[in-house]
Amino acid sequence: AADAAMYHAKTLGRNNVQFYSEELNQVVHQHLLLEASLSRAIRNGELVLGYQPKVDLRTGKVVGAEALVRWQHPVDGIIAPDIFIPVAEQTGLIIPLGDWVLDEACATLHALAAVGIEDFVIAVNLSARQLRQRRFVNRLADTLARHGVPAHRLELEVTESQLMDHPEEARDALAQLKLLGVRLSIDDFGTGYSSLSHLQKFPVDCIKIDRSFLGGGTDPDDGHEVITRAIIALGHNLKLQVIAEGVETIEQLTFLRDHDCDQMQGYYFSPALAQDGLQEMLRRDARLPM
Ligand code: C2E
Ligand code: MG
Ligand code: MG
Ligand code: MG
């Protein structure tokens, strides 16, 4: 409906500047409300991070976690990032929001190190808009230093489609981050139409197979498995690690293991956990049954 209203307003609006559909008005109004309350939420500490474990498929060991932001709204309860990240990206709020996420993830890495958990990586999702910021690398270096966290324990995930919006610029920004020493991965891989020549030039460590390619894992002829296998082979040929996200079933897990995928994350093993839940899991050395 939003798109329709937008289209309507554009086509009619060309000859009629006064035109403003009621529907469009509503959409803009809701957007502004969301923007104002999100801005307040960042300042009031209403954001929280969940940590979804990432598991090594050869040892079953938890080797890292992806930080996923949630908004704990005082009235509406927990709001998922798919609702507010797009608004944050459009309004520029992604910069303070992203800074908060990076700071919080580094604080967690510091807290884990303090209890002896040091061979562990936290991955943070990064928007292209953060990547394009001037002095982003310097500011990130400051954040790591402030928490006493070595760069190699932080991973940054950028989606393939965002990288492909401005591939040359993205490559240069990633190269600077690589010099700093953080790990880099391409998120939602397979959905962003990157040409192979670009893929080879992005200085990343890992690709994450988008969960839309995993399929149910029960029908070998549905085409998903061919794509998953091809992505794993491509990644390994480029000397990259490959992780599958959104793994929900034992069939998917078995398939990934049989085809030499390096890591997995998904509800089959664990959803995102609060920081103390993650710490408890690591302390127990909980493993994926082999
Ligand atoms: P993503 O980075 O691809 O994250 C994976 C999403 O899949 C997460 O949703 C996660 O909860 C969900 N997921 C994990 N395992 C399973 C599973 O087994 N089955 C299914 N169906 N889903 C699973 P979430 O937390 O709602 O995040 C959605 C997206 O929001 C993320 O996609 C990421 O693009 C974005 N996002 C989350 N946190 C941040 C952040 O701090 N900054 C930025 N820029 N984006 C973020
Ligand atoms: Mg991600
Ligand atoms: Mg993803
Ligand atoms: Mg996604």
Q: What's the half-sphere exposure (Cβ side, CA atoms, 13 Å) at 162?
A: 19
End-to-end Cα, the chain, rounded Å: 48
What ipTM score was computed for the predicted complex, to two decimals?
0.97
Q: Determine whether the shortest distance from the Cβ of 245 to ligand 1 is under 6 A.
A: yes
Residue nearest to atom 35 of ligand 1 (CA): 81
DSSP string computed for 201-227:
HS--SEEEE-GGGT--SS-TTSSHHHH
Residue nearest to atom 6 of ligand 1 (CA): 246
280's CB contacts (< 8 A; 6+ apart) are none
Report the length, in residues, of the chain: 290
Q: Please report which ligand is nearest the Cα atom of 103.
A: 1
Alpha carbon distance 70, 97 (integer Å)? 11
Q: Determine whether the shortest distance from the Cβ of 104 to ligand 1 is under 6 A.
A: no
State the distance from the centre of ligand 3 to the C-alpha of 260, rounded, in angstroms.
20
Our measurement of the distance from residue 254's CA atom to the centroid of its chain's CA atoms, rounded to an integer in Å, reads: 24
> What is residue 35's predicted lDDT score, i.e. its pLDDT?
87
> What is residue 20's predicted lDDT score, i.e. its pLDDT?
61
Alpha carbon distance 280, 274 (integer Å)? 10
Q: Specify whether the backbone of 135 is left (phi greater than 0), alpha (psi in -120 to 50) or beta.
A: left
Task: Give the pTM.
Answer: 0.91
Q: Please report which ligand is nearest the Cα atom of 126.
A: 1
* Tens digits of pLDDT across the chain (290 residues): 444 444 444 444 444 445 567 777 777 778 888 888 999 999 999 999 999 999 999 999 999 999 999 999 999 899 999 999 999 999 999 999 999 999 999 999 999 999 999 999 999 999 999 999 989 999 999 999 999 999 999 999 999 999 999 999 999 999 999 999 999 999 999 888 777 788 889 999 999 999 999 876 566 566 788 999 999 999 999 999 999 999 999 999 999 999 999 999 999 999 999 999 999 999 999 999 88
Residue nearest to atom 21 of ligand 1 (CA): 246
